[in-house]
Structure 1
Amino acid sequence: MPRLISTEIAGRIEDLYGAPLAVLEAHAQGQPPGMLAALLAGHHDLAFAEQSITFHRERLAQLVHPERQIGVHEVSHVLECARRLAEAVAIRDVQAKTVSAVLRSLGRVEGPEPSPAPAPAAAAAVPTPPVRATSAAPTR
């Protein structure tokens, strides 16, 4: 059985949010759309594409079984099934790439290395002398 990318993605979502997928899905139901909702939708689409791949692969294997005769009518079914299989694989690959990229961008990041202590000021600023107010009366 081929490995399911959706299972790996589900595990990464659970690790990121610290809860099982079922709990996260229930929590996201009453919330406004956000990153969690987007990740769950991407996971759902990915899982659906994988189910479609399995279905069309099995159907194609039935259609081209060695004991089965392939006539003009069956050829169109074989071609259509192969087209749908290729489409499901393309969708799965795009969804996996997109959701994985988003998950990588949300991963925990190590804090920046502490910067060295600032060097002491070379010279203290010289205070500016106060400005004297003049009380001279205006001349005409």
Structure 2
Amino acid sequence: MPYPVSKSLAERIEALYGRPRADLQAHAATTGHPTMLAALLAACSTVELAEKNIEFQRERLLHLVDPGRDIGPSTPGHLLDCSRRIAEAVVIRDTQAQHATAVLQSLHRAPAAAPVPAAATARAAHAR
């Protein structure tokens, strides 16, 4: 199943930094200090993990309520546990996504530096 929220965040991060997520993760891992990029990638990973957990718990819940399955004395407890875990994962996903989106909205790509014309470079070198 695709994970739409984390996919959208990853695409926005890639667009902002102009590189694929894998490259950005490798770059973030090489810096020795916290960066905005590392924080955004961590938030994206947290959202992705929450979405995976939602899907896993959903599948577990569907298995527990399968019409062909016998309902035992522990089934209601398992149903409540799945429901609680889904609710927790949704809260985590939504909170992390909201914060990451707010940060992404506050950032923008800096325009690329205009190349210096060769004539200006030659004049500067000649003036020395």
Aligned partners of 2:59 and 2:94: how far apart in 1?
19
Shift of 1:108: 4.8
Match of 2:52 in 1: 51
Aligned partners of 1:92 and 1:70: how far apart in 2?
31
Are 2:76 and 1:36 aligned? Answer: no
Are 2:126 and 1:102 aligned? Answer: no
Report the TM-score, using the length of structure 1 for normalisation.
0.73
* Higher relative helix content: 2
Which runs of 5 or more structure 2 residues have no equivalent in the other structure?
111-128
**Letter of the aligned partner of 1:25 in structure 2?**
Q
Structure 1 moving runs of 4+ over 4 Å: none
Query: Helix, strand or coil: the match of 1:45?
Result: helix
Q: Which has the higher contact order (CA 8 A, sep 6+)?
A: 2
Q: What are the within-5 Å matches in structure 2 for residues 73-84 of structure 1?
A: 73-84=74-85
How many aligned positions are there? 110
**Letter of the aligned partner of 1:61 in structure 2?**
L
Q: What are the within-5 Å matches in structure 2 for residues 59-98 of structure 1?
A: 59-98=60-99
State, as a whole percentage, how many aligned pairs show the same letter: 53
* Structure 2 CA distance for partners of 1:43 and 1:34, relative to 1, 3 Å: same
Kindly report the root-mean-square deviation, in angstroms, between the aligned alpha carbons of the 2 structures: 1.8
Which runs of 5 or more structure 1 residues have no equivalent in the other structure?
110-140
Shift of 1:61: 0.5
Match of 1:129 in 2: none
**Letter of the aligned partner of 1:44 in structure 2?**
S
Report the TM-score, using the length of structure 2 for normalisation.
0.80
